[in-house]
Amino acid sequence: MIVLGIETSCDETAAAVVTDGREIRANVVLSQLDDHTPYGGVVPEIAARAHLEHLDGLVRRAMEEAGVGFGDLDAVAATGGPGLIGGVIVGVMTAKAISAARGLPFVAVNHLEGHALTARLTDDVPFPYLLLLVSGGHCQLLVVEGVGRYRRLGTTIDDAVGEAFDKTAKLLGLGYPGGPLVEKAAGRATDPGRFELPRPMIGRPGCDFSFSGLKTAVRRHVEELPRPLSEADQADLAAAFQRTVAEVMADRCARAIRLFKEAHPGGGALVVAGGVAANKTLRARLSDLAAAEAMPFVAPPLNLCTDNAAMIAWAGLERLRLGETDSLNFAPRPRWPLDPSAAPAIGRKGVGSGVKA
């Protein structure tokens, strides 16, 4: 089976062609970074217009690279939410048009499910597994029991972790997007132990996260330092922030592992997904934790951690195999939780607001 995937939920316009043999035939991503950088963040209107302008060309390119025509496809899948609604509409309408014109099944994919199932595309990971989903809009621990079957163990009660990286980068004067810049700056630290930051939630029961206190602590340090910050100050603070995040993640994951093992004595892998999973310090820390717990550790390659359409095509394929396709009446969803039965986290403002997924 061959599926075309389309991703337009945030600031990446992407198209990909993937087979049920887990082969990525094409995976093209156009970042709108330059369009949004002057504003220090993603501007929804600009994003939607850029998707509209580029998506057709990207679909054509992906299909050329894959060496397939519309007649070779078994389905077309597009992100149906959560995300910036203007962009999601562009992707969904494009997919529906192809589907209607070619008589192909249409699959509306939850963007988060795309991240969640990537480890099955890259590493053929069997169900169940424990997933740490860390992106610009989400920070969740989930038990993935099957396609469409997610049990949330914890979530953030304030900021998402990618958001915390982005805000920290701003505070340090590093620019946008924050995650990769904080990681780069941390790599230049000459005295990485110089700053101690509070480690929110460590040792607390449950598997929830909190990052707003950490961000405030970074701001306090910045206010006490001569500005503009020297490169050394930026680097040492970035290193402290990154180390603290990795420690908090490891603590929360250790708790989730206990719950996971109780529910699934047969075991399963620890999987990390989402844009923040590109962070090498975090990956190393989680890999150590998994080794100590005798669990396989799976982290997709960097280009499949950040937003892409291969993950959407793959999630579409997984649904197609189960006969789960969508009607052309599907309405794009700004919010779309993976585990609708999970209670909203206390204190989380704008949870699932879909500003970033």
Pick 189 or 313: Cβ nearer Zn ion: 313
Tell me the C-alpha distance between 202 and 247, whole Å.
8
Question: E strands, the chain, where?
Answer: 2-7, 12-19, 24-31, 75-81, 106-110, 129-134, 139-146, 149-155, 270-273, 297-298
DSSP structure string for 168-222: HHHHTT--SSHHHHHHHHHHT-S-TTS-----TTTT-SSS-B--HHHHHHHHHHH
Tell me the C-alpha distance between 46 and 237, whole Å.
33
Pick 118 or 244: Cβ nearer Zn ion: 118
Using the contact rule CB under 6 A, the part of the chain among 204-212, 217-225, 275-283, 287-295 near ligand KG4 is 275-283
- Position 235, amino acid: A
Out of 80, 154, 275, 332, the residue judged to bind ligand KG4 by CB under 6 A: 275
b/e map of 112-141 (b: 16 or more CB within 10 Å)? bbbbbbbbbbbeebeebbbbbbbbbbbbbb
Pick 216 or 303: Cβ nearer ligand KG4: 303
Out of 154, 178, 316, 337, the residue judged to bind ligand KG4 by CB under 6 A: 178
Count, residues near ligand KG4 per rule CB under 6 A: 21
Pick 54 or 111: Cβ nearer Zn ion: 111
**Min. distance of Cβ 220 from Zn ion in angstroms?**
30
Out of 183, 208, 236, 318, the residue judged to bind ligand KG4 by CB under 6 A: 183
**Min. distance of Cβ 87 from Zn ion in angstroms?**
12
Pick 13 or 306: Cβ nearer ligand KG4: 306
Q: Look at phi and psi of residue 40 and say left if phi exceeds 0, alpha if psi is from -120 to 50, else beta.
A: left
Q: Torsion angle of alpha carbons 92, 151, 344, 199, nearest 10°?
A: -110
**Min. distance of Cβ 171 from ligand KG4 in angstroms?**
14
**Paired sense of beta strands 24-31 and 75-81, if any:** unpaired
b/e map of 245-276 (b: 16 or more CB within 10 Å)? bbebbbbbbebbbebbbeeeeeebbbbbbbbb
Pick 86 or 179: Cβ nearer ligand KG4: 179
- Residues linked to residue 28 through DSSP beta bridges, in sequence order: 15
The helix/strand/coil state of 272 is strand
Using the contact rule CB under 6 A, the part of the chain among 49-57, 96-104, 172-180, 247-255 near ligand KG4 is 172-180
Dihedral sign computed on CA atoms, order 304, 309, 310, 314: positive
Considering CB distances under 5 to 8 angstroms, the limit depending on partner class, which of ligand KG4, Zn ion, none binds residue 306?
A: ligand KG4
Pick 109 or 237: Cβ nearer Zn ion: 109
Taking residues 279 to 298 in sequence order and writing x for each that binds ligand KG4 by CB under 6 A, - otherwise, the string is x-------------------
Out of 172, 278, 289, 317, the residue judged to bind ligand KG4 by CB under 6 A: 278
Pick 43 or 222: Cβ nearer Zn ion: 43
Out of 40, 41, 44, 180, the residue judged to bind ligand KG4 by CB under 6 A: 180
Out of 307, 314, 320, 337, the residue judged to bind ligand KG4 by CB under 6 A: 307
Closest C-alpha to 132, from 264, 255, 29, 238: 255
**Min. distance of Cβ 191 from Zn ion in angstroms?**
34
82 binds ligand KG4 (CB under 6 A): no
Out of 80, 86, 128, 177, the residue judged to bind ligand KG4 by CB under 6 A: 177
Which stretches of the chain bind Zn ion, using CB under 5 A? Answer: 135, 307, 357
**Paired sense of beta strands 12-19 and 24-31, if any:** antiparallel
Name the residues that contact ligand KG4, by CB under 6 A. Answer: 10, 135-137, 162, 165-166, 177-180, 183, 274-276, 278-279, 306-307, 356-357
